[in-house]
A and B are shown apart, each in its own frame.
Chain A
């Protein structure tokens, strides 16, 4: 994780340093571990199988997270937005595993136009139509 530490050292003066640090801390908790490699403005993380899992591009007050290459993109300025991006990554990880084992897992519908990220999956902070809200209403 030398590349990760180098990136964190470089951006510690920027306003997005705190959400970025939380984001990469959670990325390092994935199991099996992801493999980081430097790219233009940030880092690219690959799965042990060599597939691109996500890309981070850091700008002055925000960073961009692309999930699975180009399928989803988050513009992260706050810790909450970082959590939303992480939620999408964990979901993508499960979906990828389902595809690896030859089974198509159920896709989660996405909704555009949410502050903090231009695409946001279900069951995130403050989403009244999210999964947990529906679970609560069904009790």
Chain B
């Protein structure tokens, strides 16, 4: 068969290796197809996969919040997800402590030291404190190669989320048009107009208070239920805050996403790291699986859906 009559793919990319050595002229002809996509910063900035974004809203008890954050993060990591814990609450004890970080690492966020730190805790979970604006940029970089992010938020969750809007929106996108919209306010405005009248958005949204456009920020919001605690924020954007019952001090709560049975607290580490077969650790594992399954089916935490 003459060479010109051979079938070719639409880009010619599949033929490049088989023809190597027959003539460098043909390789030069198709090289622009490879080079043109490599240098594009836009192509590099688009995340390859959907990232699960879980917000743990402060319940006024930092230990309970940190314990829930750390256990869920360990379970995500054990399920094979690259996991990041971002701490925006600046309260002690924090998730970094429960994930086994050393004092200079987990105290960095509390003491508001300059710069930022990314440290690896147990099960390879990466921990990032968010005390300064520099850390927000680091979070955006970090989330490009992350499958699950847990953000511990103070009680005023909406205000705390506002500086993180760009980072979280960029990893929660589902379509090509939404990807473009995260980098272009004008395109986002056009997309909002085009979407007007739609019954439901793909994921939860939050009104940003900084004049930015509406963006998807969280998939799930969880708040640990405490006995006698005042009812906190019920909704973050359009995401309902789901109560999580921790221990046996709280009676049954309607709509709770999980009930964690009481267990002996380890002095330094989260339960899932030291007793992975404990019934409470199994509850965290089931919750992590359910959250990931909910992500695959389009998310189930929306107030309107």
Q: Do A and B bind each other?
A: yes
**Chain A interface (Cβ < 8 Å from any Cβ of B):** 22, 25-26, 29-32, 80, 83-84, 86-87, 90-91, 93-95, 97-98, 101, 103-108, 122-125, 130-132, 135
Chain A residues with CB under 8 Å of B10's CB are: none
A123, A125, A130 — most chain B CB neighbours (10 Å): A123
Contacts of B102 in A (CB 8 A): 123-125, 130, 132
Known: A101-B249, A125-B102, A125-B104. A91 touches B92 (CB 8 A): no
Contacts of A101 in B (CB 8 A): 247, 249, 262, 265
CB-CB nearest 7 A-B residue pairs? A31-B62, A31-B91, A98-B265, A87-B103, A83-B103, A103-B264, A105-B265
10 contacts between A and B (CB under 8 A): A25-B112, A26-B92, A29-B91, A30-B91, A31-B62, A31-B63, A32-B60, A98-B264, A131-B100, A135-B100
- In-complex Cβ contact of A84 among B90, B97, B103, B266 (8 A): B103
- How big is chain B's contact interface, by range? 20 to 34
Could you say which of B93, B104, B111, B262 contacts A25, with CB atoms under 8 Å apart?
B111
B110 close to A29 (CB less than 8 A): yes
Contact for B267 among A30, A31, A106, CB less than 8 A = A106
A131 touching B268 by the CB < 8 A rule? Answer: yes
Given A25-B111, A83-B107 in contact, is the A90-B263 Cβ separation under 8 Å?
no
A30 and B92 in contact (CB under 8 A), knowing A83-B103, A94-B267, A125-B104? yes
A32-B61 contact, Cβ under 8 Å, with A91-B267, A91-B268, A132-B100 = yes
Chain A residues with CB under 8 A of B262: 101, 103
B162 contacts partner chain A, Cβ-Cβ < 8 Å = no
Report the bound CA distance from A15 to B269 in whole Å: 35
| Closest-CB distance, B266 to chain A (whole angstroms) | 5
Given contacts A31-B92, A32-B61, A83-B107, contact A95 B101 (CB under 8 A): no
Indicate whether A94 sits within 8 Å of B265 (C-beta atoms), given known contacts A26-B110, A83-B104, A86-B103: yes
List of B residues within 8 angstroms of A103 by Cβ:
262-265
Provide the bound-state CA to CA distance between A88 and B93, in Å.
11
- B58 partner residues in chain A, CB cutoff 8 A: 31
A90 B92 Cβ-Cβ under 8 A? yes
> Does B283 touch A at the CB level, under 8 Å?
no
Nearest chain A CB to B262's CB is how many angstroms away? 7
Contacts of A130 in B (CB 8 A): 102
Q: Is B122 an interface residue (CB 8 A)?
A: yes
Nearest-neighbor residue (CB-CB) of B109 within chain A: A29
Nearest-CB residue, chain A, relative to B226: A32
Cβ distance A98 to chain B, nearest Cβ, rounded Å:
4
Contact across chains for A106 and B63 when beta carbons are under 8 A apart: no
Minimum Cβ distance to chain A for residue B101 (Å): 7
Residues of A within 8 A of B62 (CB): 30-32
In the complex, chain B residues whose CB is within 8 Å of the CB of A26 = 92, 107, 110-111
Q: Given contacts A22-B111, A83-B104, A97-B63, is CB(A107)–CB(B267) below 8 Å?
A: yes
A107 to chain B, nearest CB (A): 7
Q: Within B35-87, which residues are at the interface with A (CB < 8 Å)?
A: 58, 60-63
Cross-interface CB contact of A104 among B247, B249, B264, cutoff 8 Å: B264
Given known pairs A29-B110, A30-B91, A123-B268, the reply for A90 and B97 (CB within 8 Å) is yes
For A127, the closest partner residue in chain B by CB is B102
Contact residues in A for B104 (Cβ distance below 8 Å)? 80, 83, 125
Residue from A101, A107, A108, A124 whose CB has the most chain B CB atoms within 10 Å: A101
Counting chain A CB atoms within 10 Å of each CB, the highest count among B60, B63, B100, B262 belongs to B63
| Residues of chain A within 8 A of B97, CB atoms compared | 90
Given contacts A32-B60, A125-B102, contact A93 B92 (CB under 8 A): yes
Among residues 93 to 125 in chain B, which have CB atoms less than 8 Å away from a CB atom of chain A? 93, 97, 100-104, 107, 110-112, 122
Complex contact B264–A106 (CB within 8 A): yes
Which of chain A's residues have a CB closer than 8 A to the CB of B267? 91, 94-95, 98, 105-108
Residue from B58, B62, B268 whose CB has the most chain A CB atoms within 10 Å: B268
Query: Inside 8 A of B266's CB, which chain A residues have their CB?
Result: 94, 105-106
